[in-house]
Structures are given as structure tokens and as C-alpha cells.
Structure 1
Amino acid sequence: MNTDWQGLLLRREDSIRQAIEVIDRGAKRIALVVDEAGRLQGTVTDGDIRRGILRHLSLEAPVAEVMNPRPRVLPHQYQRDDALRLLGSAQVLQVPIVDDDGVVVGLETLTDLLKRPRLENPVFLMAGGFGTRLRPLTDNCPKPMLPVGGRPLLEHILLDLIDYGFYRFYISVHYLREQVIQHFQDGSRWGVVIQYVHEDEPLGTAGALGLLPKEAVQRPVIVVNGDIMTRVNYEALLQDHDRHTPAATVCTRQYDLQVPYGVIAHDEQRITDITEKPVHHFFVSAGIYVLAPQVVHAIAPRVRLDMPDLLKREIASGREVRMFPVHEYWLDIGRMGDFEIAQRDARQVVGRG
């Protein structure tokens, strides 16, 4: 049983934003909603929050809007085998422990019961771009190698993935490739295996995947752009992909666009409604993907291909392309202002420096 569960408690009226903070801070991927007496009212997981985001719920909405009001629980006098059986059959990673009155007295997690295994899925890191929007910083340094909080941006990405158990890495390189290769070498410094995919000519945001040896891709491939900072839960991402087995899973980020004027609805010249400064909600790609092996195998080598075109090709063929909303910290370092924000966030949010 995990003994550090008191920090995971919430009330029904607490906000979804507070639930995200509790889940991130507690590192157990769950928050427990209780009443004044400590009786369990529901649970909130990473997946519950993502489904709420898909419904365009505000992060200030009460957590009761997304919680599971009927979670699985363990009695306070349980055996380890009982916990393993419940966690396996329910396909959940955490189970609250309650006493005879329903009061929370603990939390059991699968990661506490079982040591996290190494994940065999290959990870493909895209590091070949020119980073033209960050010139002059990138005149003599590839964008993924720009220092953020004392270490290259790409190293932050690598370390996060290593924390989740990934150890087989491929890095696509082109612009100033020697700097990337010299820094990361074969990966033995971090106890992982790194191989390089050389783009002799720029192949777009997906074309380099066609250079992967087919025998190396027998499991879904994690693809990550080398110019983002994020705390996305890669374990939850891969589990979601494995559960639904689509051709591709695309991490998405909600982007809100507010019209700064009153918007007129009309029937010819007759005004039917006026909406003051409406907000439109969109989902944009977060630069993180999971691709089924057959999708990667079908990419022709040395042919330019961008990721949107690859995904649209799968959609046009009738295969499922699934979205995975990202509520965790995420920053696309595309412009100078973003790079400055990354420096500020490196220690506070990413926790490295």
C-alpha cells in the first residue's frame, strides 16, 4: 500500500485545475474526492480529465463534473493477490482502500505492486530541422541542442522518456548533425541505446521514418518532435493507443481563439443574434504521436512526407486516427519568446537544470 496518499484528496467543489495539480504533484495519476468525513465520493484520473477536455469543460469547473462516482475499491484488510487481481481485471492502475464506513485509509497502485518493466517500443526523436525562426541562436546550433535550464532541449525529452521505461531510441539528424551525435553518442551514458537516422536531404516531418529498418519496428512507435518541452504522461498515451489499436494516435492541445468583437448572426440583412466576443475552441497537434508498425512500414524511404499528409492518408484509407488530449505542461519552442519562457520554466515545471 502506498502511504503517501493524503495529498491526493479533493472535495467535489474543487476545480478540475486543482485536480490536475494534485495528480501531477502526487505522481500517482489519481485524485480522491472525499466528503467532510473523509468518505470516498469518487476518483479522478488522467483519463477522466482528458475526456472532460474533449467536452470543452473549463478547467475551473468543479471536479465533480469529471470524477468517476463509482470507482473500484479495496477493503482495508486485503491481500496482495486480491489487489493484483482487481487491478488486472479492472484495467486500472490505482485503487483506493476504504474502511467499513467508506472512509479512505490508503491507496494501492500497480506500479507499487510491480516494478515498472522496460518498454520495447522504439522511440523516434525528430532532430533534423533548421530552426530558422530562432535565428541567430540556431545559426551555429541545431534547435534541439539549444540549452534550456543548463542542458539541451532534446536531452529533457530523452530523460522524460527514459523515466517511463523506454530505452530504444532513434534520432533523425540533418542540420549540424555532428553536434547531436557528439552529445548523445550511443546512449550508454543514460543506460539506453541510441541509433541515428541520417537525412541527406530534408524529408519533412514524417519522411525520415521511412529510413527505419522494418525489423526494428514490430511495436507501435513513439514519435516526438525535438523542439517541445512537456510533461505528458507517455505511459497513459501508450496504454490508450494499445487499448484502442488505431493506425495512429495524435497528442492534441486545446487552443482557444477569442474574437475581439461582437459577432453578428444574420439572415440576409436581418440580424438574428449578436454574440459578444465569442471564444472558439480548437485542438491542435502537440508534436507527439504513436504510429502502428504497419503505418511506419508503408512509408517509402527517401521520399519527402509531412506528418499531416501521412495522417490524412490513413484517414482517407478508412483507418482510425485517434486523438489524445494533453493537459500537462507543454510548450512548443518555435519563436524567441517561447525560448525565453522555456528558460523560466526549466526548473519550476520540468524540474531539471
Structure 2
Amino acid sequence: MTMRPWELTLTGPLTTLEDAIAILDRVALRIVLVIDDQNRLLGTLTDGDVRRALLKRHTLSESVQDVMCSTPRTAKRGWSKDRVLAVMEKYQLLQLPVLDDAGVVVGLETLHDLVNPLKQDNPVFLMAGGFGTRLRPLTHNCPKPLLKVGDKPILELILESFIKSGFHNFYISTHYMPEMIVAHFGDGSQWGVTIHYIHEHEPLGTGGALGLLPHDGINLPLIVMNGDLLTTLDFRSLLDFHGEKGGVATMCVREHEYCVPYGVVQSDGHKVRAMVEKPVQKFFINAGIYVLAPELVKCVPYATRIDMPTLLEKQIAQGNDVSMFPLHEYWLDIGRMEDFQKAQQEFGHL
């Protein structure tokens, strides 16, 4: 008997956070329902819960019961659509588990299924002007965003991932071999979207092209993404997070582990206090995906070279809030030849 999609979200309280994240990614309902051995609901885990856990440095080996929401909002079996929608609207929920009188999970209502999907009007800016020098000779006669992973160019895979989430208003920055990118994507009509091109006559860094955008047309938060990334990130979830946290920008980050290949000596002056063999250090690294408030986009000077980290650091120095959004989804920066080969191997699993 085929399982219903919501049944694939069910898991036990001792499931590891890593396995729960895998369920979130695989089932794509943006929630995990934690149940006991009688199928009674113990709690829920959403993208937001995962990111809060990562920010608090919880490890992926911890049990889901340590980070789940143990008092989730629920619906009763038999509630009308209007009543379910009213609860979702009041508490700003995207999902609502449905329970019977004994607290057993009997279903899952999602806002996506209850409401006709609407277009996402936020503009998307895809940065596709780089030279791709580390991928030569592949990029001698082809811009990196048009290199194929599987049977499609990298940039087309990115575009289609946004389209599946309802985005339709795109800008693409170009510099290296721009005519090839324009020839491939045109005005976007073959995908049912609108594409405008922002050409950098001289390289302007990772943030300078923002100053070439038609600022009077940027009235909603803008998603900016490097044109050489593959990810299964839910872009609507990113926008929801940005809206919840406020501030002028949200930067996606990825946790990176580095193992020091030697024994590290901790000292106090000339005295040895401890020795740690091959310690592992963890850092959050820039994932190359941002959400920018319209006022930030409009403050970038015309045709001025600036990198995105510098732009955000200036905002922080001025006292403006910049949030970070930790990614647990698949993410690959195709910057080197080994990354490109890895993308070919993993493409079929995306």
C-alpha cells in the first residue's frame, strides 16, 4: 500500500537530527512529525527549528526530541477548511498536524494544498559574469554558468529551481561571453518568466552589479545568488526567515569543518596546559545566497566596484541588522574542476 506524503514525515523521538533533516529534504513538506509507538504526536520539527538548533551549536547526532517543538499547534479531525485556514493565519503556520481525539496523527494540512499557489513577485538576481578561470580549459569557449551538469547548464538548473517555487521576475548579470548567455535564455518566455540582463562592462565585484539594477523597480526583498551554485534550498523558506527577522539583509551560511592535522598544544606562557590531538574546528562560511532589502539595493552606487561582504560589513558598521540563515540542504559551489566533477556524479540524486 502506497504511503501518503504526510506519513513519510513521521519519525520517533530518538531519531537523530541528521536523519530528521534528511526527511525534511526528501519529503519536502517542510515539517517532521515526531510520534510515540502509538502514533501519538510528541512534537514537530520545521526548518526554523533546525536552523535555531544549528545556531545554538547542537550536533547532528543529537536526538530530535532535544530540538523539536513539544507544544505544536494542531487541528482536530473533521475541522472545516475555513477553520484550519483561520488557525494557520492567526499563528502564521505553513502546516498543521491533524489529530484524532486520542492525539494520534491522522493527517497533515498544508497551506500550499489549501490555497491556490500564487506567483512570488520578489525579484531574483543571478550573478553570471565571472570568468571561471579555475575551470579552464572548459571555460575557454563557454561561460561557467552555461557548463552542463547532466544535460542542462548550471544556470538553467538554478533558474528552474526558482520557477518551481513561483518566482518569475529575474535579472542576470553578465560580463564574460554575455552573448552566449543571452542567446540561451533570451527574454525568459520559453520558461514563462521575465529575464532582464545587467551587463558589467568592467568587473564590479560580487556586489557592484546591484548598482546597475533599475532601482525604481526593486520594491520587494531581492534574492541574490551566485550563478555557479547547486542547492535544494527552499527559497520561500529563506524569504519567510528574512521577513521574520527583519533587517537590511540575510546571508545564507554553511557550516564548514576543518580538522587540524596535528596535535595542538594549549599553553599559558611557557607552561603546557593541554594537548589536543587533531582537533576539529567549525565555522560558518558564506554560501553565496542573500536576501537584500530594497533600501539596501538602492544605496549601492552606480557602476562602483564592491564585494558583497564589504557591502554587508558597511551595513553592520552603521548599526543595521544582517541575519544569517544556516543551510542544511544540499549545496555545492562549482568553483573548481573537482567540484564540477562532483556535481556530475551527484546530479542524479538531486
Q: C-alpha distance in 1, partners of 2:322/2:112?
A: 29
Do 1:128 and 1:172's aligned partners in 2 also have CA atoms closer than 8 Å? yes
Q: C-alpha distance in 2, partners of 1:262/1:199?
A: 48
Q: C-alpha distance in 2, partners of 1:37/1:244?
A: 37
- 1:327 deviation in Å? 0.4
Amino acid corresponding to residue 88 of structure 1 in structure 2: E
Q: C-alpha distance in 1, partners of 2:272/2:92?
A: 53
Structure 2 counterparts to residues 99-248 of structure 1, below 5 A: 99-248=100-249
Amino acid corresponding to residue 104 of structure 2 in structure 1: V
- 1:17 deviation in Å? 1.5
- Aligned: 1:95 with 2:96: yes
Q: Provide the residue aligned with 2:314 in structure 1.
A: 313
Deviates more, 1:186-195 or 1:236-245: 236-245
Q: Secondary structure at the match of 2:125?
A: strand
- 1:262 deviation in Å? 2.2
Normalising by the residue count of structure 2, what TM-score does the alignment of the two structures yield? Answer: 0.98
Deviates more, 1:220-229 or 1:261-270: 261-270
Normalising by the residue count of structure 1, what TM-score does the alignment of the two structures yield? Answer: 0.97
Q: Provide the residue aligned with 1:345 in structure 2.
A: 346
Q: C-alpha distance in 2, partners of 1:21/1:266?
A: 41
Amino acid corresponding to residue 313 of structure 1 in structure 2: K
Amino acid corresponding to residue 303 of structure 1 in structure 2: T
Q: Secondary structure at the match of 1:178?
A: helix
- Aligned: 1:74 with 2:75: yes
- Aligned: 1:13 with 2:14: yes
- 1:314 deviation in Å? 0.5
Q: C-alpha distance in 2, partners of 1:62/1:157?
A: 33
Residue by residue over 1:298-343, the C-alpha shift from the partner in whole angstroms, topping out at 9 and shown as x without a partner, is 1011111110110111111110010000000000011000000001
Q: Provide the residue aligned with 1:254 in structure 2.
A: 255
Q: Provide the residue aligned with 1:35 in structure 2.
A: 36
Residue by residue over 1:60-99, the C-alpha shift from the partner in whole angstroms, topping out at 9 and shown as x without a partner, is 2211121111100001121111110111111110010111
Q: C-alpha distance in 1, partners of 2:331/2:36?
A: 33
- Aligned: 1:281 with 2:282: yes
Q: C-alpha distance in 1, partners of 2:22/2:255?
A: 18
Structure 2 counterparts to residues 51-70 of structure 1, below 5 A: 51-70=52-71
Q: Provide the residue aligned with 1:266 in structure 2.
A: 267
Q: Provide the residue aligned with 2:26 in structure 1.
A: 25
Amino acid corresponding to residue 62 of structure 2 in structure 1: A
Amino acid corresponding to residue 338 of structure 1 in structure 2: D
Identity over aligned pairs, percent: 50
Q: C-alpha distance in 2, partners of 1:133/1:55?
A: 36
Q: Secondary structure at the match of 1:116?
A: coil
- 1:49 deviation in Å? 0.9
Residue by residue over 1:215-239, the C-alpha shift from the partner in whole angstroms, topping out at 9 and shown as x without a partner, is 1101110000001100111011001
Q: Secondary structure at the match of 1:218?
A: coil
Q: C-alpha distance in 1, partners of 2:341/2:232?
A: 18
Do 1:3 and 1:106's aligned partners in 2 also have CA atoms closer than 8 Å? no
- 1:277 deviation in Å? 1.9
Q: C-alpha distance in 2, partners of 1:321/1:43?
A: 28
Amino acid corresponding to residue 165 of structure 1 in structure 2: G
Q: C-alpha distance in 1, partners of 2:242/2:223?
A: 10
Residue by residue over 1:3-44, the C-alpha shift from the partner in whole angstroms, topping out at 9 and shown as x without a partner, is 531111110111112111211221110010000000001001
Number of corresponding residues? 348
Q: C-alpha distance in 2, partners of 1:9/1:324?
A: 25
Q: Which runs of 5+ in 1 are unaligned?
A: none
Amino acid corresponding to residue 197 of structure 1 in structure 2: I
Q: Provide the residue aligned with 1:301 in structure 2.
A: 302
Q: C-alpha distance in 1, partners of 2:285/2:6?
A: 34
Amino acid corresponding to residue 287 of structure 2 in structure 1: A
Q: C-alpha distance in 2, partners of 1:92/1:253?
A: 26
Q: Secondary structure at the match of 1:283?
A: strand
